[in-house]
Every structure is written in C-alpha cells, then in structure tokens.
A and B are shown apart, each in its own frame.
Chain A
Amino acid sequence: MSTVVYSARRIITMNPNQPFATHMAVRDGRILGAGPIESLKGWGKFEVDDRFADKVILPGFVEGHSHAYEGGVWKFPYVGYFDRTSPDGALARGLKSIDEVVAALQAYEKKMPRDDSTLLAWGFDPIYFGGRRMNLADLDKVSTARPVVVLHSNFHVLNANTPVFAKAGITRHTNVHGVVKDERGEPTGELQENTAKFMAYKAAGVELAAILSDDAATWGFAKVAQLAGVTTATDLHNTLPDSTVAAYLAASASMDFPLRLLPAFAAFSMPPDEGIARLRQLAKKNNERLRFQLVKIITDGSIQGLSARMRWPGYYDGTPNGVWNVGPDEIDRLLLAYHRAGFQVHIHTNGDEASEVAIEAVERALAAAPRWDHRHTLQHAQMADAGQFRRLKALGMCANLFANHLFYWGDIHYAKTLGPERAERMDACGTALKHGVPLAIHCDAPVTPIGPLFTAWCAVNRLTASGRTLGEVEKISVADALHAITLGAAYTLKLDEELGSIDVGKRADFAILDDDPLAVPPEKLKDVGVWGTMLGGRVFEAPRV
C-alpha cells in the first residue's frame, strides 16, 4: 500500500470544490487526494515524485465516440491531407496534392512483395485539392499489375486503379449506383457507398474486419489514444464476434495496456433477446480496462455522404433526403428492448430527422417503461437545434456532438450540404450547454484523428479548414470544453462517479500535459503537448519520436 504524491505546475481537477491544486496523492491505483502537500500528509507515509513538477495534470481524457479499428488501419499506409500521429508516435505527414499521394504510394508499392497482393491505403480526402479528383490514371501510375485501393477518410468512398475495375468488369456500360462517371460516361476510378464497400472487401479480402480488430489493432488503438492523453475510450459500434472479444480480453488483461476500453454492442446485428443475453454474458468478463455495458443503434448515414435523414427543407443543394440504415419502427423496437433490459443506448443520428426519430423513440420507451437516469445519448446530433436540445434535457438524454466536423467538413456543409444558416449552428455545443444538456464532444476516429484537445479546440474556436468561423454564439469556453472531454464525456458513459475528475476515491487516470490549456490562448489549445498519461496510477509516457 504505497502512496505517491505527485507535484505539478498545476492540477486542473474538474472538481468545483477545489478546481486547482499543486499536489495529488495516489494509492492503489486510485486518487487519495489533491491539494497543497500539507493537506495530504495526514494520509500517512508517502513518496514524493517530482517528475511532473513542470507539467499540468488533468483528469485522463475520455473519448466518448471512437472506433478501435483506428488501431487497425495503421497496418495500411495513411494518405490523408493532414498530419496524423500513428500508434508508435511517428508523424505521418499530410499529403498536399494528388501527385504527392501517388508518389507516396509508389514508394510504398516498391517495398511490397512481388505478387498480386492488394495495396490498400486510407485517409484520403479530395476536398482540399480545389475540385481535382483522383482518377484511374493516377493510381495506374502506382501499379498496373496489382490492385490499388485508396479509401477516403470517411471510409464510404474509394478510388481504385484499372486492375480493380477490369477484374470487376466495371466499364462505361456498368449501370450501378456508386460508380462515378465523367462527362463522357467513363468510370473515373471513384466508387461510393455499398459499391465501394463491396470492392474494398473484395480487394482486401473478407478478413479485413478481423484484421482491423485483432490483438495488434487493439494495442494500436490504445497507444494512439494514449498519445492524445486519452485514458478511457469507446469502440462505439461493434458486433463483438468471438474473435474481437478474445482480442479485447487478451489486450486488456495486461497491466501495460494503457486504456479503459468500452465497446458498444451493435444492436442491429442480432435480435434483441439474443443481443441482451450476449451482452450480459460479456459483462461478466469485464475487467479494469475493459467494460461491456454500452449499446449502439445506428439510424441514418452521414451529412457529407449525402445519406443523412434531414427534416424539411433537406439538403441545401437539393440532394434528395438520405437513407435509413435502421428505420423508425426498428429504432423503436431495438431501443425499447435494450431500455427495458436496463442498458444505456447510444444512438447515431447525423440529420435532424434522425435525431427527432431517436428522441421520440426514447419518449415512447419512457412512457412504456419509466426509468430514471437512463442517459440515452444522441451521438453526433450534428443538426440538432434548440428545440431538440430542450427535448433532450426534458427526457434526461445526453448529447455527444461531433465537434471535429466543424473543422474537417465545415466548409462543405456551409457551401453545399447544409447552407450557411444551419452550418453556423451545427454541432451546437453552446445551445446544448445553455439548455443544460449533459455534453461530450468527439472525434469518431478513425474518421478524424483521436485528440481531445483538438476536439476541444474545435468546440472553442469553431474554425473550418479554410479559416471560416461557424457560429460565434455556439462557441464554448475552454473550461467548458475541457469538462466535455473529461467529466462530461464520463457522464455520457455512466462512468462519472468513477473517473473524469480528480477527486478522492476516483481512479488515478490522468492526462499529463506540457502546458496549461487554461493559460494558453484559446486558438492554441490544440497545440498543447501531451507528455503522456497515467492509468490506474501507472505512468505511460508518450514515445518521443
């Protein structure tokens, strides 16, 4: 029962009784106390550890909406526009033109075995290249022999080379939704939605899903989260096949695993009675670093994928309304079943019609089976307006808003999908807080990189990639943003009594920062360095690369 007292430049506790401290005591993986060192002396013998004397310590960040295959995609080359940190801490440089992407892939291809195996890359996003799209000829420069498949950052669109198209028999005569053609009617090399998914699996092999969630991928996810100061993260939609469960159990059994991982069971993947039984069985295997307790229901698609379910008047550019992945009747049925069984349900809703349907489903479930403190949470809820936030509050629901979208796709939303007015109020953190809705903000990794300080920066500054400010009144303070990535997110996962703030008895999970996020200018919030984390009192220093 050794006790360690850590000194720090500043400890930001998220505990209003004592918002700041200079020291904190850790015993048995839990927080014994924080305050001036004198206030800790009464606990008995302790060692003092001063290695963080010039650091700033916060509760470990909680990422309420991410996906563990963030750890798996790094088995494939990253070809995105923005710099991105890989699980080993190395910086993958952003590629600023299609030619740069092609050159990077050519270099990668040279190191591949001389066979016909597929070159799969990910993270590509053409919206930053001034309208120029990638085409077949671009990727044919990489190889005309092996299949080359480049997944876009949204994972719903891809580009491929001629061998992929030839093998699938895709020509100008192929009349299939999702095959993009140029003005002459020739396939450009870009494939979308179901067609893209099918071709990606075909090219990469049907074991792709398994590769993305094996033991190595699970470790990779934990490490990439740790680098960003995250100590608790969700894997917010997983069918939890035995192979994945085994990988999660094996990884989390190790004391060196630097993350508390919360998978959310994909409700639509099996009938609710079977799913409930399965989840209850899985919960018996919970350990300190792995918690089966969440349920996820997906409703619509994505705004930028043109598949969000929107209320009138729909897409700004006249695109027809999106598609239901799970329709209103099924949402009702699934939600009620898991609600009755006592589970907390996280509901993916991008468009405001999807949010409305989810809210009404919760209303009906509560009428049928009254329940306190359910904390059913809308995930994304990007188009939710003030009225919807009032309903969330009235029903005891939470919102986890996709603040990173403001930066990565805000310009597209402004110009094409939502139009100025709704883009200004998308991911309305300010309105959520004003109406007292428990708020978290998220990254949806690997769709965008995991990095709660960046996500907080988005909610605070609301800047798009081109530098436009979206919605002055929806900005929130740095303090509120830090709350949303710690205690706020923990609340949406029903972990707020256990972690999310630095308070007596809570888990000794910390983000250790090089600088004080409350002292730096708000526009520099994303640049605050992360030294590493502590999880249950164990120190995990980020690798210096």
Chain B
Amino acid sequence: MTAPIPFTVIGGFLGAGKTTLLNRLLAGVVGRRFAVLVNDFGALDIDSELAAKHGGDTIALSNGCLCCTIGDSLVATLLALLERSDELDHIVVEASGVADPGRIADLATLEARLHRDGVIVVVDADDVQRRAADRRVGDTVLRQLKAADLLVLNKIDLTNDPSVVRTWLGGQSAAPVLEARHADVPLALLFGLDQHGVSQGDGNPKPFRSWSYSWPDAVDRSALLAMLNEAPSHILRAKGIVRFADSADRRSTVHMVGRRVDISEDGSWPGNAESRLVLVGTSAMLHSFERSETAWPAD
C-alpha cells in the first residue's frame, strides 16, 4: 500500500483569512499536488493561466493541484476524492467559519489512506476577542482555537497593541503561533514541505530553519515525548525515524505538528541505522532552542 496522504485542515472564523492562505498555497506550491477542498470557488484567486480544466465541482490547475467545492457534504466529497488518491500528494480542507476543524481532522484517523497532518487555525488579530465574547459564536471561536495545532495570528498589522491579543491567545491555546499580515506565512512550515515544495521566487530570506539530530542508540520514548512537548514555542514541526528502546526492533515514525505528537510503527528497524529527527521552526527562537538542547535524550 502506498504511503498515506497528509491531511491538513484550515479552520478559523469567517473573515480570518483562510482563503488568503489557500490562495498563497495554490500560487506558491511547486512539485507537490495539493487537493484543496473549499466552500466556495468564487473566493479563490485562480487566474486563467493557472486554471487548466474546470469540471463543475472541480478545477484542475496547471501546477498539478486540484480545487474541489465541498458542496453539501464534506464526507462524501472527501471519499470521492480519495478514489483518485494516487494523483495527490496532500489534501487540505478549508473548514467552514463555524466548524470545529478538529472534528474534521478526526476523519484522517479513521481513514487508512490519510495521515492526519495538522489543524491550522487562522485568527483575525483585530477581531478575535470581540468574536470570542459574542454570546452566540464565542464558544465556537474558542473551540476552534483549542482544536488548533498551529495558529496563524493574521492581520497583526491592524492591531494597535499586538501584545494584548498575543497574551489573550496564549491563554486560550497551547499551540505555537505564527504572526502574519495578509496570511503571509512560510508555507513549508505549515504544510511540512521540504524546501523544494514551495516557490523560491519572492526573494525574501527564508523565515524558517531546520535542525537535524541523529542518535546511534535506541531512544527512550518518554524522554523524547517530554522534550518534544517542552520544545520552545517557535519549533513548529518535527519529523523523524526513530528506534525506541521499548520497541527496539521496530521502525517508528515520529510526527509533530505544533505540540501534537503522533508516533506510528511501520516496519522493522533496518540493521544498524541511526535514529534521525528533524525539527523545523522559525529562526527567531534559535538561541532559546539551543539552550534546551542539552536536555535532549540523545547519546
């Protein structure tokens, strides 16, 4: 069986910037075939150059990506899409403005062809506190924040004092926060792409970094989990192939998005290979991370 397809859910209240983020993804991705399930094509910024084929509920883009409208049933749309899963490298669902994106991400747990990647919740920095205090939608907004593996604090430029919303958000969710204007965030971080997965054309210095680790000996599981949980806030993802001491003949895949860690065994350990782990994060907190590195359960 082929490897399961990463499954990402983008949540966030109406107007937070989900569509802007998707537009950035569709314009920026290269060499990876994303299927993006949206509520409404109309909001997508698909120019005629990019749109190769329009077939009712689906638009095939010339860069290999696919856009589908969800219509009435996400479940039916998703299952129909999985019938062509060999044409896809990654599936992204745009949750509706009032949906709990965590519950959508749960579907990946029930589907062998999918691998739950992450729940990204986009937050309108200027509006979120007002929405959260609304008696009709406040609980919906807070559920979304709690479901997030990664938060994009968008429209940060519109707030007078960003520290207020930063502090408030920290009290609502333990997920790492990426601040952004116009949903301009490093796509590679959000979607776990290697550096070839996104276009390099914008000329900006790369706003993220990665750190690689390897251990020749078997690794203590609880120590690794504790360390991932305690990783500094600007470490956003981790991926690794690890030989755990308590399962030393098995190959374990470690996958972290935000602070959600997912470990699965997918075969026997290949001889005398080393355990490897790559962390990805924004460069800002490099120093802080290196300080904590001494506690890493290596060697």
Do A168 and B98 have beta carbons less than 8 Å apart?
Answer: no
Residues of B within 8 A of A195 (CB): 106-107, 110
* Number of A-B residue pairs with CB-CB distance less than 8 Å in the complex they form: 89
Q: Which among A193, A206, A266 has the highest number of chain B CB atoms within 10 Å?
A: A206
Q: When chains A and B are docked, how far (Å) is the Cα of A364 from the Cα of B79?
A: 38
Do A328 and B110 have beta carbons less than 8 Å apart?
Answer: no
Beta-carbon nearest neighbor of A327 in chain B:
B98
Residues of A within 8 A of B136 (CB): 309, 328, 353, 357
Do B97 and A271 have beta carbons less than 8 Å apart?
Answer: no
Do A201 and B139 have beta carbons less than 8 Å apart?
Answer: no
Do B102 and A177 have beta carbons less than 8 Å apart?
Answer: yes
Stretch at the interface among B29-37, B66-74, B277-285, B287-295: B66-74
Q: Which among B72, B96, B107 has the highest number of chain A CB atoms within 10 Å?
A: B72
Beta-carbon nearest neighbor of B134 in chain A:
A328
Once A268-B72, A326-B98, A330-B14 are accepted as A-B contacts, the answer to whether A199 and B79 lie under 8 Å apart by CB is no
Do A239 and B72 have beta carbons less than 8 Å apart?
Answer: yes
The distance from the CB of B250 to the nearest CB of chain A, in whole angstroms, is 16
The distance from the CB of B115 to the nearest CB of chain A, in whole angstroms, is 12
Q: When chains A and B are docked, how far (Å) is the Cα of A268 from the Cα of B98?
A: 13
- Point out the residue from B40, B75, B83, B96 that lies within 8 Å of A201, measured CB to CB: B75
Beta-carbon nearest neighbor of A357 in chain B:
B136
Beta-carbon nearest neighbor of A210 in chain B:
B76
The distance from the CB of A197 to the nearest CB of chain B, in whole angstroms, is 5
- Point out the residue from A266, A320, A328 that lies within 8 Å of B139, measured CB to CB: A320
Q: Say if the beta carbon of B104 comes within 8 Å of chain A.
A: yes
Do A201 and B76 have beta carbons less than 8 Å apart?
Answer: yes
Q: Say if the beta carbon of B111 comes within 8 Å of chain A.
A: yes
Q: Say if the beta carbon of B195 comes within 8 Å of chain A.
A: no
Interface residues of A in 232-286 (CB under 8 A from B): 239, 266, 268-271, 274
Do B140 and A269 have beta carbons less than 8 Å apart?
Answer: no
Q: How large is the interface on B (under 10, 10 to 19, 20 to 34, 35 or more residues)?
A: 20 to 34
Do A323 and B137 have beta carbons less than 8 Å apart?
Answer: no
Beta-carbon nearest neighbor of B41 in chain A:
A271
- Point out the residue from B73, B102, B137 that lies within 8 Å of A328, measured CB to CB: B137
Q: When chains A and B are docked, how far (Å) is the Cα of A170 from the Cα of B111?
A: 10
Once A198-B110, A320-B139 are accepted as A-B contacts, the answer to whether A330 and B97 lie under 8 Å apart by CB is yes
Do B98 and A325 have beta carbons less than 8 Å apart?
Answer: yes
Q: Say if the beta carbon of B54 comes within 8 Å of chain A.
A: no
Once A176-B110, A195-B106 are accepted as A-B contacts, the answer to whether A324 and B42 lie under 8 Å apart by CB is no
Once A170-B110, A197-B75 are accepted as A-B contacts, the answer to whether A324 and B80 lie under 8 Å apart by CB is no
Beta-carbon nearest neighbor of B82 in chain A:
A206
- A interface list, Cβ under 8 A from B: 168-170, 174-178, 193-195, 197-199, 201-202, 206, 208-209, 239, 266, 268-271, 274, 309, 312, 320-321, 323-330, 353, 357
18 contacts between A and B (CB under 8 A): A168-B110, A168-B111, A194-B104, A197-B73, A198-B79, A201-B76, A206-B76, A209-B73, A269-B71, A269-B72, A274-B42, A312-B135, A324-B140, A325-B98, A326-B96, A329-B14, A330-B96, A330-B98
- B interface list, Cβ under 8 A from A: 14, 40, 42, 69, 71-73, 75-76, 78-80, 83, 96-98, 100, 102-104, 106-107, 109-112, 135-137, 139-140
